[in-house]
A and B are shown apart, each in its own frame.
Chain A
Amino acid sequence: MPRETFQQELDRLVEEVLELGREIESCLGTMVQALETHDTEVASRELGVDARYKERGAEIDEECLVLQARQAPVARDLRLVYTVQAVTNHLVRAGTLCEHICRSISETADAERDSDLETTLLEMSHGARDLFRRGLDIFEARDIDRARDLEAADDKVDLLYSEAMNLAVNPDKEGIGSPEWRIRAALTVHYLERIADHGVDIGACAVFLVTGERIESAMRQYRDRNLDQYDD
């Protein structure tokens, strides 16, 4: 097949993204573990990873730029380069949020906690990690039929988000935790929700890569078509 070198460069690019993705996935695993065990040592293992992720992200971006300049990719190649850049962005951002959470854990180790809020938060952390992993799996396997399941799973995380925020704002009278912990917990809830969204978006990127169609616009077109039928 012609353009073998170009194909190798594209394959290498995807490998790099997946490598970075798996590393961040493992970082998320560590974060969940630290949340469960309140182990500051585990949490502090991930402090500083953010800078490394950003650097790797910038390298991948650079490679995409050079590939575009030298190879003028079109069609599926263009979609791949574009998708690689978009996915990398989601990965790096998720990695940054994960580091924030680990920092928060390590700095509030001895703080007094609200057990209800903490339970919700833990459940949310599992949901966010799973969504991220599933998004990455879908991107790796280009299995777009599974991408739509992500939305439903994200609904669950969003529900937990509402619950956690309500608990944060309207605590019970007793055992409400220290003010600092409450604020950190609220931020963590927000970060987890964002991580879950990045997972969903990575899945949506895979849909674009395979079909050239934006998942949102496909949804919109589908809905518009239904509305037209009602008008008739």
Chain B
Amino acid sequence: MMDPKETTREHDLDRDQANEPEPRWREVNQRSPENHAAEADTELAMSVENLNMYYGSFKALQDVSMIIRRNKVTALIGPSGCGKSTFIRGLNRMHEIVPGARVEGKVLLEGENIYASEVDPVRVRRKVGMVFQKPNPFPTMSVYDNVIAGIRLGRKHKKSELDEIVEKTLRQAALWNEVKSKLKVGGTALSGGQQQRLCIARTLAIEPEVILMDEPASALDPVSTQKIEDAMEELKKRYTVVIVTHNMQQAARISDYTGFFYIENMGDPGKLWEFDETDKIFSSPSRKETEDYVTGRFG
């Protein structure tokens, strides 16, 4: 006699469990920060613990804790004024350049708090490089000199060594093929997108651990943007990248992890509202405000 049940559907497998308690969808859906911390320990580039940041008496950022993973791109998104740029400046002690600015909490780089009193901020900035929104090559320097501007400040290098660094970093920044025949022309003679990649190469020449990018492609056309994004794909093989972006699709395309910053009420400090894998943030974020923001329903 044939057994017709064998021909029927897949979820028959579940039959034996029919008396089990119901699945708890919502709970399964959540990931706790503790789990993140545990799994990430070995691949940590930086870790931020309970960071508060101030401009004078104004608290711009409150109680931010975040893990930045090695060889990954972490994107920071959120509405204007929510503290993303402030936060990223807190990662290499650029924040304190602003008069009256101060920081509470810890930012660990290789296990060391960069805000510890004995730490030299210049050393921090060599390890954690920054690329800004507007390309800012040194106007009086050639392409070549721009790339090595940072390392010139350090120990002496041989000419052949410098040549090697220039080629290597320009390749990593996906610019080499476009500028190899005009290394001696002024840096500002390049197009906007090329200038931005030149600035990336200049940052790479110092051999930082982490590269911070504050809206690096917001002033560029789509083709240049795509080249920056391609460069980033290359970069994360060697470096850790943290990028602030207002372009949600860019965050979705290039990043592995996404942090959403948010201010609940005008005048309140910004907070890290949700932090998760980028796939999760853009498919089913855990918090309503994140979903409203990424779907464009915000405000």
Contacts and interface: CB of A to CB of B under 8 A. Distances in A.
A219 B25 CA distance: 8
B294 A155 contact: no
B291 A76 contact: yes
Given A72-B249, A74-B295, A219-B23, 5 more contacts: A74-B248, A76-B295, A162-B5, A193-B8, A218-B24
A219 B17 CA distance: 10
Given A161-B4, A169-B2, A218-B23, A212 B284 contact: yes
Interface string B1-40: 1111100110110110110101111101100000000000
B282 interface: yes
Contact of A211 (B4, B5, B11, B284): B284
A216 B14 CA distance: 9
Given A152-B18, A162-B4, A211-B29, A222 B296 contact: no
Given A152-B18, A161-B8, A222-B23, A78 B283 contact: yes
Interface of B: 1-5, 8-9, 11-12, 14-15, 17-18, 20, 22-26, 28-29, 248-249, 252, 281-285, 290-291, 294-299
Given A74-B283, A211-B25, A213-B25, A155 B18 contact: yes
B296 A2 contact: yes
Contacts of B290: 75
A166 B3 CA distance: 8
Contacts of B12: 158
17 contacts: A3-B297, A7-B297, A73-B295, A75-B291, A75-B295, A76-B295, A151-B11, A154-B11, A158-B5, A161-B8, A162-B4, A169-B2, A193-B8, A213-B284, A218-B24, A221-B23, A222-B24
A67 to B, nearest CB: 13
Chain A at the B interface: mostly helix, strand, loop or mixed? helix
B297 A78 contact: no
B17 A223 contact: yes
B15 A155 contact: yes
A171 to B, nearest CB: 12
A58 B116 CA distance: 63
A128 interface: no
Interface in A127-154: 144, 148, 151-152, 154
A3 B283 contact: no
A104 B177 CA distance: 69
A85 to B, nearest CB: 15
A75 B294 contact: yes
A165 B4 contact: yes
A118 to B, nearest CB: 17
Contacts of B8: 158, 161-162, 193
A136 to B, nearest CB: 19
B1 A148 contact: no
A161 B2 CA distance: 13
A219 B1 contact: no
B79 to A, nearest CB: 12
Given A158-B5, A162-B5, A221-B28, A212 B283 contact: yes
B245 to A, nearest CB: 14
Contacts of A211: 25-26, 29, 284
A170 interface: yes
Contacts of A207: 25
Contacts of A213: 25, 28-29, 284
Interface string A216-232: 10110111001000000
B9 A197 contact: yes
Contact of A219 (B2, B14, B291): B14
A43 to B, nearest CB: 25
